[in-house]
Structure formats: C-alpha cells, structure tokens
Amino acid sequence: MSTTTSKKLNVKTGMDTESIKADILSHLRYSLATDIETANKKEFYKSVVLSVMDRLHDSWLNTQKEYREKKTKKIYYISMEFLIGRLLDNALVNLNLEQEFRDACKDLGYDYEEIRDIENDAALGNGGLGRLAACFLDSMATLGLAGFGYGIKYDYGIFKQKIHDGYQIERPDDWLRFGTPWATTRPSVMYPVRFYGRSVPYTDEDGHLRFKWENTQHVYALANDIPMPGFRNGVVNNLRLWKATSPKSLDLTSFNQGEYINAVRDIELHENISRVLYPNDKIFVGQELRLKQEYFLVSSTLQDILREYKQQHDDLRDLPKYVAIQCNDTHPNLAVPDLMRILMDEEGFDWETSWDITVKTLSYTNHTVLPEALEKWPVSMLRNLLPRHLQIIYEINKRFINKVHEHFGDDVNRVRRMSIISEGEQPSVQMANLGIVGTHKVNGVAALHTDLIKKTIFRDFFEMYPERFTNKTNGITPRRWLKQCNKPLADLITSEIGDSWITHLSDLRKLDDKVNDKKFMKKYSDIKQQNKERLAAYVKENYGFELNTKAIFDIQIKRIHEYKRQLMLAIYAAAQYNYIKANPDAPVVPRTIIFAGKAAPGYAMAKMFIKLINSISDKINNDPDMEGKLQCFFLDNYSVTLAEQLIPAADVSEQISTAGMEASGTGNMKFALNGAVTIGTLDGANVEIKEEVGDENIIIFGLTVEGVEELRRSGYSSWEYYNADKALKQVIDQIRDGFFEPDHPSLFHTITNSLLDGNDYFLVLADYPAYAEAQKEVDALYSKPDEWFKVALYNTARVGKFSSDRTISDYATDIWGCEDQLNKGREYQGS
Ligand code: 475
C-alpha cells in the first residue's frame, strides 16, 4: 500500500515535462470534470495552477514542520494590503520550472503566455505600501526567514479604472468571480472576532480588579492561505488572508419567528467586513466599516499567532523571543490594545508584564508624513465598537503622559501634542502616537524620510525615545522586477556575470566594467529597443494607438496625487507641443510620454488631472505637426501586471514629487534596475539612488527639502513664477482658457485656480523652470546613444542596495532579532 502512495506522490511532484503534462490532464479530469478536448482556456489555466500547487505543497508542509521542530522565531507581517499581482510566473521562476511548464503547455496545444494572461491580478492594495508588503514576502521566503503575511481576502480589490471621454470611471474588481486556485480555504482555522458590548469590572480570586468584555456580537474570520515560495531554496511561507463569515448559530430565534429572510440578510452584513478594499491612498476616511476591517484583521491574526505559539511554548512571557509582529503603517495598530487585552483579561497577567511583552513583540512602519493620511479614530466610534480597547488605550495614555511629565517637566503644549487621545470637539485616538508608545521600533522607509519624521511629525517622541527610531530603506524583489518582467535583460546579465545577482543584487556591480564592451552594450541597448517594441505592440493591440518606438519613452506611473506632480509632466508635454508648433523646422528629440495611475474615487483634483492629461494627449496625438516628434498617452487601469510591461520599456523614469513628500518610492528603484534614467527631485529614496548610481547618472532638479522650507518661510508667490516663465505662462493660460477643451473652456479652472490663486501648495510652478532645463539635459544625453546607454547601464549595475533582500536583512537584524536565521544553510548555489 505504501508503494502505491509513494508512486502517486512521485507522479504528483515530478519536475519533468512529462509528469507535469500528466498532472495537468489529471486535474482537468479529476479536479475540474472536463478533458483536454472540451476544456476552455480558463479551465486549462486552472489545471496548470493546480499542478504548480502540487509542486509547492510538500515544501509548504515541510517548511512549516521545520519551523515547528526548530522553534524558529516567527515574523508576522500584518498589512491591510498585499498587492501581489499575478502568481504563476513568480511561482515557476522560484521553483525553477518555467521551461518545463512552457513545454508542457505547448505539447498540450496551448501557448504559455496566453495561459499566464488568464490570471487576474490579486490587486489587494492601493500602491506602494501594498506592493512593498508583497516584495517583502518574496524576500522573507528567499532569505529563509519564517515570515508570514496576514491580511484580508477582499472580494473586491482596487477598482478597475476605465477612461470614458477622458474621465476616470470606477468599476468593481470582481477578481474572485471564478475563484482563485492559489488560495486554500482552511475551515479548521477560524476565529470569532468580537465587536460592541461593554467592559465589565470584577474582582478575581486574588482580589485584583479585572475586566471582562461582555455582550459582544461576533463574526468569524476564516483562513485562506496562499503559498509564498522562496527562490529555489525549498522554502514555502504563507500569506494568510481572512474572509469574514457569519456565525453558524445565527440568531435562531428569528427563524422561529419566521424571520428567515432577515437572518439570511444578516449573514450578508457580517460578510461585508471583507467585501472591499478601501481605495484611498493616503487619505484617511474615518468610516466605521474600515475600523471594523482593521480590528477584524488584528483580532483574527493575534488569535492565530497565540494559538500557534501555545502549541510550541508554554510561557507567554517568552513571546518576544519567538515572535515578532510588524505593523504595516498604523492600520494594524489596534494590535497594541488587543494584545494587552488578551494578556490581561484572558491570560491573567498584570499590566506591567503585559506591557513589557506587547512593546517588545510589536513594531510599526511609517509610510507617509502627509497629515491627511494619519489615522485618527473618533473616541465615540471606538467606545461603541471596541469599548474594552478604548479603556485600555486611555490607561496606556494615562501612564504615558505621566512619563512625559517625568521626562519633560510641565510642558503643557508638548503633552497635548504627544497625547494618544487628542481632545477637542471630536476627541480621537491618534494611531501613530499609539504605535510609537506601544512598540519597540518605529521605522521610516528611506533615509531622508526617517530624518524627516524625527524632525517633524514625531519630533517630541524622538526626543523622548531616540532609540526607537530607525531607518529601513525600502527595496524591491529582483525576482519579479528583473528576472520575470525583463527576461531578455536577465538572460543577458546572467550570460555575462552568472546568476548570483538574483539573490545578491549587488553582484550587478560586475556589469560596471562592461560599459566599454561594445558588443555587450549593443546587446544591452537592443534589449531596451525590443522591450519598447513589445510595449508598442501591446498598446497597438489594446488601444489601436501606435507608439513611436524611436522616441524617448518617458514614463510616469503611480497613484495620481498632487504631491507626485503628474501635472508638471503634463505641463511639460503641452509646452513641448507649443514649442514644436512655433518652431516647425527646429530639430527636436522625439518623445513619447506615457502616464498610468488611478485616482482615489473621492479625490476630485486627481481625477481632474486625468482628464487634463487626456485632453492634452488628444491635442498632441491628433496634430499632424507632432508626428515623429511628440506623443502623449494615458494607459488605463494601472496594475502590477501593467507595470511589469511598462518598466522594462522605459528610457526615462519620472520621480518628480515635491521634496519631502514622497516617503521613499519604489517604482524609482524598479525603473533604475531596468536601465531607465531617472529625472527626479531630491526626495525619498531618489537621494539614495543618486548616491549609488553617481551624480552623473541621474538627472536631479528642483528644490530640496530645505529649499522648500525656505521658500515657504520667505513667502512663496506662484504668480511671480507664472509671470517669469513665458512657456509656463502660455500653458497655464491655455489650460485656463479652454485650449485643450474648447467645448468646455472653464473645465480646468479648479486646476489653474489651485496653481495661481491657491498659491500652488505643491510648488509646481516653483520647480517648473528647473524641470524644463532637466528635460533638456535628457534630450541632450539621449542624442548621444553611446553616452545614454552607459548611464542606463550604470543604473542597472549600481542599484543592488535596493533589493528587498537587503531591506529584509536589515529588519531581521535591527528590529526582529532573527538575524541568525538569515540564509541558514539555504544559500542559493546557482541553477
Ligand atoms: C509611500 N498608503 C511611498 C511606499 O513604503 C513608499 C495610506 C493610508 C491608507 C491606505 N494606503 C496608504 C500609503 O501611505 C503608501 O502607499 N505610502 C507609500 O509607501 C512604501 O515607497 O513613498 O507614498
């Protein structure tokens, strides 16, 4: 009997094309009840994924077993967002089975690319914060860390963006319509999450005052697991996404009263908690459903962590030794009062012991300094929804304020600034303050950003707890962002310097020497051209628009936000248009400007930017005088998958935020790695990219953080800049007077008013002249292709620092205390 079992196992996990084919056919028949003759593409895709899953399951189980046996310290990354995108390519790259699966598909009559393209993106995030979480999972598995992601399985991810008449329209992202074969539902892993009720005091056997949280209502959190394979190291970690389901015993009395329909409707209400991702990037909207989502995530995750812990350890006081919990921004910071509540109310520890465990176990990452993004939950809302937690937060605050007094004396203003509860018309809980007080480390996401939080929003806290603040500059996974998305370049690099770069990205430095190797440089530049042509083919097929592949591909892709200043590139496009119209015979370096990005549905200004970009694009693209010289194009529905096509095709990377506002940026890193030249401000990680690639290999312009401060202090007037720059004035007048929208000439007044009468908070006009000059530098450099591609190659060669493997090693060492696990016996030895 055991032989048949093992035989079957062997077939299931065979790594050769023949056994893969057998499994695909078997899944078609026995998992999907169809066969190769009748299956459609979706079904074929599903069997392919199931066959990949078969090859992950043993490693998945073995990895967990090993962690248990060795009592490995576990790292829990809690995040409201995981922007993981598609998983098929990634799994095959990490399993080293790309070719075998390609061949298997081909033999069975399917083109691998076509099958791959069936997969919907898992778009469970808004932007940088969510994508960072996804890169971190890849790196944790690759480095052999016991790192687990915890998030929510939203039925609807970030909305699908359509463009109608130039305007953004939002459509629901029904990514689970046909289910996803990547997620395994685990009915055995389900926890009640409680809400409402009240906190009731009582005296325990030892005469201590204690509290019980009573009369609560609850929903269940059901685990759905997605495997996260490391790069060719046999490690498979887990991303656990919670789905809300209603309690089984749902209000049986109402059945008796014949209110069956109402009871069923209640099920719907419970399940709404995991229905939809909030589509706001950096705008705090204090809606109760969002607060419920945050607590739903925290409560289910902590229950899961502690259940697992108790299976292996018996003393919760050792929790920080075996568990580290990272909160991705303040969204999971209810972990502070919830862990306190569990330790005191359920485990019977006293305040001091509970506090010590909590602070040592938790840490928190800040991703933005924009004040409108900071979470402040109304006390009234918490009192209703989580009364016991609010009580604990008050107690944390009371004790903390005492410490502030001890530390700073009677400084009323400071106490007011530092209080976790802000008083006023609507008292609220400052989640960032809670995070700093209740965790042992707070990190910024780039060096400049970390300095800024120490000096500005968290200054008082830094003065009190300097040792808590630390920088962890962001990174990106080289597997997805080079090996997968730019195969031709990855292959060229590997053929020159070997493939150690895949897990040791700094080895790309070896490419530095190739700048004078003509043959290599020809191949390097040919690949860029090939990638541009591939993108052009995609755009032609999907939009019927023909990109000029001889032009500079100048790309800005990211969320639409005033601080990111898409408007500045749009103004530049219009100014180029005017220049070419006025100088029809002057030589110009041809340019194709490409935008993509979503605007939060409630962010009117950002949506207006999209319309403006589309109006300017129409003007440019429909004018025969622009032919061969200038194009402008907005691609709809920006996504991880679209980024994977755009980034390898970019010549120029636009990273032009107002200095001090972009915490790090990670797109900047992806572009540089793929050989695009950055035009950017000294903001976020651009500063560190400049340090790495060298001043000559990046085009920096505009105000610095200090310059911005100085200009504001001395009294900025956007009108002066408007009047001083003719080309700029002309474009702003055109936007204001309806040149780009003749049928509705006042359409863009909100934009021009904010620039002029509103005094241009984001300093677009202040930076524009320097930006236009920098764009001339781009033209000049691009006109000398040999020079250009040297600069491009230095970018590819020198951005090794920005591998998320480095970032994760830094977290492991300075925050999580698990540096001993890094790469332990799992070093990748080459294929
Ligand atoms: C920064 N999102 C990037 C990236 O660190 C940085 C906030 C509130 C609610 C929902 N989403 C958010 C962010 O704050 C965010 O994405 N921040 C970004 O984090 C990773 O590289 O500069 O803007």
Q: What is the CA radius of gyration of the chain?
A: 28
What is the distance between the alpha carbons of residues 619 and 613, in angstroms, rounded to a whole number? 10
Residues 6+ apart with CB under 8 A from 479: 90, 93, 94, 138, 142, 231, 502
pLDDT for res 12 = 58
Taking residues 526-532, what's their average pLDDT? 98
The count of other CB atoms within 10 Å of the CB of residue 408 is 14
Tens digit of each residue's pLDDT (9 = 90 or more) over 254-284: 666 667 777 777 777 889 999 999 999 999 9
- The residues with which 77 forms a beta bridge, in sequence order, are 149, 326
Catalytic residue check, 248: no
Q: Under a CB-based contact definition with an 8 Å cutoff, are residues 41 and 34 in contact? A: no
Q: Left if phi > 0, otherwise alpha if psi is -120 to 50, otherwise beta: which for 207?
A: left
Give the percent of the chain with pLDDT over 90. 94
Strands 428-430 and 421-422: antiparallel
**Integer Cα distance of 328 and 132 in angstroms:** 9
670 is catalytic: yes
- Cα–Cα distance for residue pair 335/294, rounded to 1 Å: 9
Write down the pLDDT at residue 252: 61
pLDDT band per the 50, 70, 90 thresholds, residue 2: very low
Q: What is the ipTM of this complex?
A: 0.98
pLDDT over 80 (residue 322): yes
pLDDT tens-digit map of 136-177 = 999 999 999 999 999 999 999 999 999 999 999 999 999 999
Domains of the chain from N-terminus onward? 71-86+121-472 (3.40.50.2000), 478-793+800-813 (3.40.50.2000)
Question: Ligand 1 center to residue 281 CA distance, Å?
Answer: 7
Q: What's residue 639's pLDDT?
A: 98
Catalytic residue among 666, 752, 796, 807: 666
Residues with CB under 6 A from ligand 1: 126-129, 132, 280-282, 367-368, 373, 445, 474, 662-666, 684
Report how far residue 613's alpha carbon sits from residue 567's, in angstroms, rounded to the nearest whole number: 8
**In a mutational test of the pocket of ligand 1, which residue from 79, 129, 369, 686 has the highest number of ligand atoms less than 8 Å from its CB?**
129
Q: Rounded to whole angstroms, how far apart are CA atoms 472 and 815?
A: 10
- Are 85 and 638 within 8 A, CB to CB? no
Contact call for residues 298 and 334 (beta carbons, < 8 A): yes
Q: Which atom of ligand 1 is nearest to the CA of 684?
A: 22
- Residue of 800, 781, 802, 806 lying closest to 791 (CA atoms): 781
- The closest alpha carbon to 305, from 566, 1, 73, belongs to 73
Cα torsion angle, 559, 565, 567, 570, sign? negative
CA distance 332 to 322: 20
The C-alpha angle with vertex 429 and arms to 425 and 433, in degrees rounded to 5, equals 125
- Distance (Å, whole) CA 318 – CA 309: 10
Q: Is the pLDDT of residue 6 over 50?
A: no
pLDDT of residue 249: 61
Choosing from 102, 292, 331, 559, the catalytic residue is 559
- The pick from 135, 368, 640 for probing ligand 1's pocket by mutation, whose C-beta has the most ligand atoms within 8 angstroms, reads 368
What mean pLDDT is predicted for residues 814-826?
A: 85
Q: Is 73 a catalytic residue?
A: no
Residue 493: C-alpha distances to residues 183, 279, 508, 669 (Å): 34, 38, 8, 18
β-bridge partners, 362 = 325
Nearest CA to ligand 1 atom 8: 282
Q: Is 666 an active-site residue?
A: yes
pLDDT above 50: residue 9: no
* Three-state SS at 250: coil
Pairing mode, strands 122-124 and 217-229:
unpaired
* Exposed/middle/buried for residue 347 (C-beta within 10 Å: 0-12, 13-18, 19+): middle
**Active-site residue 301, yes or no?**
no
> For a substitution probing ligand 1, which of 82, 367, 449, 640 has the most ligand atoms within 8 Å of its CB?
367
Tokens of 303: 């229950």
**Tens-digit pLDDT profile for residues 543-569:** 999 999 999 999 999 999 999 999 999
Q: Among 74, 331, 341, 367, which one carries the catalytic annotation?
A: 367
pLDDT tens-digit series, residues 26-57: 999 999 999 999 999 999 999 999 999 999 99
Tokens of 750: 């909100």
Do 210 and 189 touch, CB atoms closer than 8 A? no
* Average pLDDT score over residue span 233-251: 89
Please report the beta strands in 488-644, taking only residues with DSSP state E, as ranges in sequence order: 552-557, 591-596, 630-635
Q: Are 231 and 502 in contact (CB under 8 A)?
A: yes
CA 168 from chain centre, in angstroms, equals: 22
Instruction: Report how far Cα 44 is from the mean position of its chain's Cα atoms.
Output: 30
For residue 108, give the nearest of 169, 44, 171, 63 by alpha carbon. 44
Ligand 1 centroid, distance to 242 Cα (angstroms): 22
Instruction: Name the residue with higher pLDDT: 182 or 251.
Output: 182
pLDDT digits (tens, 9 = 90+) for 10-28: 445 789 999 999 999 999 9
Q: Would you state the structure tokens that stand for residue 587, as one six-digit string?
A: 């030589």
Per-residue buried b or exposed e for 29-42, using 16+ beta carbons within 10 Å of the residue's own CB: eeebebebeebeee
Average pLDDT, the chain: 96
Please name which of 57, 48, 60, 54 lies closest in space to residue 24, comparing C-alpha atoms: 48
Residue 816 is given by DSSP the state I
Between CA 772 and CA 67 the distance in angstroms is: 55
d(CA 156, ligand 1 centre) in Å: 20
